Structure 1
Amino acid sequence: MGILNVTPDSFSDGGCYTTVEDAVTRAQEIDEAGADIIDVGGESTRPGAEPVSTQEELKRVVPVIEQITENPEIDALISVDTYKPDVADAALDAGADVINDQNGLDDPEMRSLVAVRECSVVLMDAVNLPVNPEYSSDTDDIVTQVCERLDNNVERAMADGVSSDQLILDPGIGFATGDGEDIELIARTDEIAELGFPVLIGASRKSFTTELMDLPPNNRLAPSLAANLVAAENGADIVRVHDVEETVYALRTAEAMWEHRTSN
């Protein structure tokens, strides 16, 4: 999944693709680099980012998605990165295939929309948001806690009509996790996969890499590649990345080695 932020303030690439023309050009680059999904986002989720109105987010993402889907040279699926039902609905009408909801399908209206539209949806562990406030755990283990919350939110979504085959789970790398916890989640992606759903890992250029080395957001390629390779080997089905070409090269090389190891 290649990231396409059409925002002025995203933590790594904010302001780079704020016109429809620039965004579509970048979408074509992402597609040509080998991405299977292009994730279009119109609101930054970085810490301290200003909230964006529904109308502003619609203005940012809908024209871009329309132009991408009308471009015959782009084959990738389109995802919309939003927690707003109105934006998700309009994006689907414009040609999006997937909703990437960082609110963990907390909004009943979003759950209803996903059920009715029968689209794929990424359900993220929104630990930093008021999702299932009654949740508590008997363990301090971060992976167990994340799996418990994801499982609870899956049950809630399915009770509201969302089908199991629509769901993709995201453990929420970089969202209100403590020192070392993001690394723990990536190292134990296989335990999240045991919930029985496809798993998305979004580790690209996240600040947890500074726990290992002090690097600015635009110079975190090496740790991002390492995180994605470990996640993929441990069962991640999708990795959400800024550096698409480099990640595709790394994954294809690693997959060739994994297949050789398995065959021998």
Structure 2
Amino acid sequence: MATSRKSFLVFSDLDGTLLDYSTYSKEEAIPALKKLEERNIPLVIVSSKTRFEIEPLLDLPNMRRTFITENGSAIFFDEEMKINTDHRVIQCGSYNLIRLGMAYPDVLKALGKAQRETGIRVRGFSGMSPAEIANYTGLDLDSAERARHREFSEPFLFCGSSHELQTLISALGDHGLICTRGGRFWHALGRCDKGMAARVTREIFATSFPSTSWITVGLGDSPNDLSLLETVDIAIVVKRHDGSSMDYSRSENQRLIQAPGIGPAGWNAVMLDLLKTL
């Protein structure tokens, strides 16, 4: 079937990108979010957050179809969306789930083994109370409890040397885990990342909506967003809360845009401008 229309397929990080780093508000991005909704352009959240943290944010129809949790560990699709894929699809409540990462109990087991083998200790969410997580993140207690309800990855604090970190990362690799850096924490997870999850999602949209030619857009601000930015047609680097921007060199045949503002304000401005081009 010949394609009849072009559309953006937007992948966005949350903390520090679509959400304010300190307040976790997306208020400044509402105008662009509304424009995406009006034009029926899918917005796929791609976050280190859990499903339980993301669900309360899905208050626009175009945000409810698909989201990616825990740094690419899993993709959740609305159960009403028809999915054509060779990946195993699992029914999970009102979602169809494709799991790319490792189950949380196995992540904790592997992380524990790596710590015992190296003698290097970390403080993970599994060992913190909701009050402690709230203190480190600025979340309220209910949100901290949702953040603690992990399914595929373990955020942790690390206070050792760079040599110790590399030793720990190597040991994690021996047990099937990778380690990625977010805005506040390190994250231990299975062998997957945001870019892998975005590629799978793009393939599913291409086969499930064959009459649409998808132009992929990715927005992020932190090192754990690099794999996402490398995957998309248009990579957008959003300024961090301190006004700095992470280094990113565009890949071949890719368009790179530096957002003009910080967090959701920059997200809003760059997306409103981009929407004028389609």
TM-score bracket, normalised by the shorter chain, equals 0.3 to 0.5
* Higher Cα Rg, which structure: 2
Higher strand share: 2
Bigger relative contact order, structure 1 or 2, given CA contacts below 8 A and separation 6+?
2
TM-score of the superposition, structure 1-length normalised? 0.32
TM-score of the superposition, structure 2-length normalised? 0.31
Higher helix share: 1
